[in-house]
Amino acid sequence: MSILNKFIKNNFQKPYILVCSSKTHMMYAKDILDKNIVSNELIPTPKGFGEICTTAIKFDFKDKKEIENLIKKSKIEYKGIYSLDNRYRYDLSSVLEMNISDDMKKIINKVQNNEDISKKDVLYLLNRETEEEYNALITTADIIRKECVGDRIELRAAVEFSNYCIKNCNYCGLRKDSKQHRYRMSEEEILEEVDYLYKIGIKTVILQSGEDPFYTTDKLLNIIKSIKEKYRMGITLSVGERTEKEYRLFSEAGVNNYLLKIETYSKRLFDYIHPDDDLDTRVQHTTWIKEAGMRVGSGGMIGLPTQTLEEIADVILFQRDFGVHMIGFGPFLPAKGTPYENYSKSDLKLNLKVVAITRIICQNVFIPATTAIASLNSLGQTLALEAGANTIMLISTPKALRENYGIYSNKNMVDLDFAIQSTLDSKRKLPKYLNYSYIEELGYKIDNSIK
Ligand code: SF4
């Protein structure tokens, strides 16, 4: 059976969730339920039932008794078992009072009543063009964002440690056949960057590269171990497709998140943009990442050559139905020297609608205001934060190398100054955990209102 069919959401008639006390207990509980053939799936814990970006186990009411017995017998520690009928309710009355069509009101009502919105609804929202309806969409996303993740942005930093890649994705400036100057960073060089991030107070480092087999499992595990021992920081790994065994080893070594974008959920488009990859395989890898106990980072590209609005609706819905924790949608931007170099860049408004719809339907998750949207338009990051995004990713690759990590051309090297400005412009706050005195010693000026 195709993984795409296998993956289709369980149709739970009366959905419930089990929220465990820790990731270890959650993984153990999942294992026990699978062994006892009790239908279940991992989802981001919905608002009101646990912390953001944690994982809950979803199941059907008919299995509740059996699950209670199993977890009692196995001494699994858990916080609670909850009916999804009692989900947090967002007050969207201010949006319903806006000058919008009855059809749009119906969709907003569905969101308010915690009903799943359909592909037809997503398409309807993607097609909103009048100023009032566009504003209503952004306002809905902003209300949900505020309730779920508050006003403080989450600041993460990427060390792009190698731009070698064995693959030839048609849109990507790092593809094997591109004439890009190549570099690899040593473990010492990576740790030097991590040391700087630790000092400014960043809590999660993203280790990102092309698909580069030079970094063997052992090499990566050594780097992960060093970061964990010395800095105890959260780690997001973004190194492309690896094996199921490697995902388990990374998770056991302390990797918290794994970023592997699905890019599109259309088989036609996936094949068109990825000559070396296959959508079923990508879904399988995403499943392995989740089953290894890491939080799943996914998302995709908007405005790809030949991409239709229906395909955009499908990739947004995939994030919800798969239960993705961190969803990065970025615009297509042409990269010089690639087969797509002469295609037009993506449309800003379409990208902002996608960010807003993603927040509306996925709710209690992290959504970055991507570097790509900041590259599409200098106000892109601020506008994405206003449309439901809550995360900014700093580029923390050494200055001498970062120009060579050109997945697309004219990349905006989002640095601390840029992130501070976007936070100020969107009337949000920086995270509390930053080391403000150290940052100011470095010469950065931070307005007290955003600390
Ligand atoms: S998108 Fe990733 S896998 Fe594809 S060519 Fe670029 S770096 Fe390599």
Q: Where do the domains of the chain lie, and which CATH numbers do they carry?
A: 3-86 (3.30.70.260), 93-148 (no CATH), 151-450 (3.20.20.70)
| Ligand 1 touching residue 285 (CB < 6 A) | no
Query: Tell me, what's the pLDDT at 9?
Result: 60
Instruction: Give me Rg for the CA atoms of the chain.
Output: 21
C-alpha count within 13 angstroms, C-beta hemisphere, residue 181: 5
pLDDT of amino acid 8: 54
User: Can you give the pLDDT at residue 1?
Assistant: 46
Alpha helices by DSSP H, 387-445: 399-402, 416-425, 436-441
Q: Is the CB of 239 under 6 A from ligand 1?
A: no
Report the DSSP pairing between strands 55-60 and 15-20.
Answer: antiparallel
Query: 182 CB under 6 A from ligand 1?
Result: no
Ligand 1 pocket, 240 CB below 6 A?
yes
Within 201-277, where are the H helices?
Answer: 217-231, 244-252, 267-273
CB 301 near ligand 1, within 6 Å: no
Average pLDDT per run of 10 along the chain, which is 451 residues long? 55 93 93 95 92 92 96 95 93 97 97 94 96 97 96 96 97 94 96 96 97 98 98 97 98 97 97 97 96 95 98 97 96 95 97 98 96 93 97 89 82 87 95 96 92 93
Note the pLDDT of residue 239.
Answer: 98
The Å distance, Cα 387 to ligand 1 centre, comes to 28
**Per-residue pLDDT, 396:** 86
Query: Given this model, what pLDDT does residue 397 score?
Result: 86
| Residue 7 pLDDT | 57
How many angstroms is it from 309 CA to the middle of ligand 1?
24
Q: Which helix (H) or strand (E) holds 195?
A: helix 187-200
Centre of ligand 1 to C-alpha 218, Å, is 22
pLDDT score of 6: 53
pTM, to two decimals: 0.95
Residue 248 is predicted with a pLDDT of 97
